[in-house]
């Protein structure tokens, strides 16, 4: 009986646990790949549209909407991503890094994307996706922000000589 239990434990450790781990990690990889396919570059912010250079080097969410619901969404996004150093949420008439954003600053984008409420822009000024203010769209926005944000570079391992 003791040998049977130890053989079952050995089979579990050698076969079942690695298979379950592989399956779980594979599922996460496929999920991330699907998200990356959703945030391919769709357009870019023209230099003439960003004269204050607010979008350069930062992942940005541009809010084209106003009202209580949009402010609620913006504050939720801010709370979730406030610790990320290269992330910002912008809207006309707001402030960022002691700069006043003029009213109508994103007017050209608002005209181009008049049916949408939020625009996700990467660090290079490329528009990755646009969103409405529905619950599913905001959930997708949060997932896409996590994919588009630049990853923190990890230190290389160096050997001492």
**CATH number for 139:** 3.40.30.10
Res. 129: pLDDT tops 90: yes
Q: Specify the 3-state DSSP secondary structure of 144.
A: helix
Res. 127: pLDDT tops 90: yes
Other beta carbons within 10 Å of 51: 9
CA dist 32 to 60, 74, 89, Å? 20, 24, 23
Q: Based on the domain organization, do 51 and 67 belong to the same domain?
A: yes
Res. 154: pLDDT tops 80: no
Question: Which pLDDT belongs to residue 53?
Answer: 85
Looking at per-residue pLDDT, the higher value among 49 and 143 belongs to: 143
Q: Based on the domain organization, do 29 and 108 belong to the same domain?
A: no
For the chain, percent of residues with pLDDT exceeding 70: 99
Q: Tell the residue number behind the tokens 């076969």, with chain if given.
A: 15
In total, the chain counts a number of residues equal to 161
Res. 64: pLDDT tops 80: yes
Which own/partner contact pairs does 105-109 have at CB distance under 8 Å and 24+ positions apart?
105/52, 106/49, 106/62, 106/64, 108/46, 108/48, 108/49, 109/45, 109/49, 109/62, 109/64
pLDDT winner (highest mean) among 64-73, 106-115, 147-156: 106-115
Question: Which pLDDT belongs to residue 27?
Answer: 94
Q: Based on the domain organization, do 95 and 24 belong to the same domain?
A: no
> Mean per-residue pLDDT for 38-54?
86
Helix 68-81 to helix 135-148 angle, to the nearest 10 degrees? 30
Strand partners, 126: 44
Q: Based on the domain organization, do 59 and 104 belong to the same domain?
A: yes
| Whole-angstrom distance, CA of residue 119 vs CA of residue 52 | 18
Give the range of the structural domain holding residue 21, as residue numbers without chain letter.
1-38
| Whole-angstrom distance, CA of residue 68 vs CA of residue 56 | 28
Q: Tell me which residue of 152, 157, 108, 141 sits closest to 38, measured CA to CA.
A: 141
> Mean per-residue pLDDT for 28-48?
90
Q: Based on the domain organization, do 55 and 133 belong to the same domain?
A: yes
Q: Based on the domain organization, do 30 and 5 belong to the same domain?
A: yes
Q: Does 158 reside within a domain? A: no
Domain count of the fold of the chain: 2
> Mean per-residue pLDDT for 71-75?
87
Q: Based on the domain organization, do 3 and 66 belong to the same domain?
A: no
Yes or no: say if 54 and 60 are a contact pair by the CB < 8 Å rule. Answer: yes
Question: Which pLDDT belongs to residue 157?
Answer: 76
Full-model pTM: 0.79
């Amino acid at each position: 009986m003791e040998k049977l239990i130890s053989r079952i434990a050995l089979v579990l450790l050698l076969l079942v646990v690695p298979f379950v781990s592989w399956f779980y990690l594979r599922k996460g990889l496929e999920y991330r790949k699907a998200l990356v396919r959703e945030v391919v570059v769709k357009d870019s912010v023209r230099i003439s549209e960003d004269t204050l250079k607010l979008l350069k080097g930062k992942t940005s969410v541009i809010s084209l909407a106003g009202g209580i619901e949009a402010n609620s969404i913006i504050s939720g996004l801010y709370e979730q991503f406030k610790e990320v150093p290269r992330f910002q949420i912008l809207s006309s008439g707001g402030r960022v890094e002691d700069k006043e954003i003029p009213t109508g600053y994103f007017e050209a984008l608002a005209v181009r994307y008049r049916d949408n409420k939020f625009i996700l822009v990467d660090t290079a000024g490329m528009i990755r996706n646009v969103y409405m203010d529905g619950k599913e769209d905001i959930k997708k926005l949060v997932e896409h922000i996590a994919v588009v944000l630049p990853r923190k570079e990890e230190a290389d391992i160096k050997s001492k000589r």
